[in-house]
Amino acid sequence: MRNAVAVCVKTFTVVPPTGVTVCRVSDPGLGLEGPPDKYIGNYSVFRLTVTPSNVCFNNVLFRENIPRNEWTWPNGTRGEFGPKTVGTTVAIDNACRDDCWAGPHPIERIHDGTGYVDFYYVLRVPLEYHDGTNWLGFLDATHPQFYRGRDQKSQVVSNNTNSASGKWQGPWQSDP
């Protein structure tokens, strides 16, 4: 009698992520609002959902592969963020949390010598996933940071496949 060996072949297709939808969840802020108005900045929390929604990405590794971002404040101070990688996974519903903040920064940074001025800079936050061998990019996300001169408030926007904005926040009394 021979031992029978059954061979089963299963073919499947790997579906890569194609985008990220975003909505604002909360705006914890950076401390106590002024006066005295000493600091500017913001802190907002966003819910991200990786798409397509008919695929579960629960066992996939994701990361923000943030390059060096540089800018110059209105008062001449140089600013920078990165390079930095921030890893995450998603829940069974493809969702995760993204905490976005800037600051606190001295309020004088948006003073150009004659008055407080509007200002913004854009943080590039490319999104990547790991396919088991390599990190592959799938979305060039950004987090613009906006500052208003008239009231020294700040706001972050999360630009992904769609966009969501945090509330205007601050200015703050102290560095938390």
Of 28, 48, 41, 21, the closest CA to residue 161 belongs to 21
DSSP conformation class of 76 = S
Alpha carbons 173 and 115: distance in angstroms, whole number: 19
Q: What is the pTM of this model?
A: 0.89
Paired tokens of 61: 């590794």
In this predicted structure, what is the pLDDT of residue 6?
Answer: 77
Asked if residues 139 and 160 have their Cβ atoms less than 8 Å apart, the reply is yes
- DSSP of 27-82: ---SS-B-SS--EEEEEEEEEEEEE-TTS--TT--EEEEE--EEEE-TTS-EEEE-
In this predicted structure, what is the pLDDT of residue 12?
Answer: 65
pLDDT in tens, the chain (176 residues): 567 777 888 776 778 999 999 998 999 999 999 899 999 999 999 999 999 999 999 999 999 999 999 999 999 999 999 999 999 999 999 999 999 999 999 999 999 999 999 999 999 999 999 998 999 999 999 999 999 999 999 999 999 999 999 999 999 997 65
* 132 Rama class: left (phi>0) / alpha (psi -120 to 50) / beta: left
Alpha carbons 142 and 98: distance in angstroms, whole number: 12
- Our CA angle for 12, 14, 19, nearest 5°, is 150
Paired tokens of 43: 């802190």
7, 62, 127 from 10: Cα distances, Å: 10, 27, 31
Domain residue spans of the chain: 19-165
In this predicted structure, what is the pLDDT of residue 175?
Answer: 62
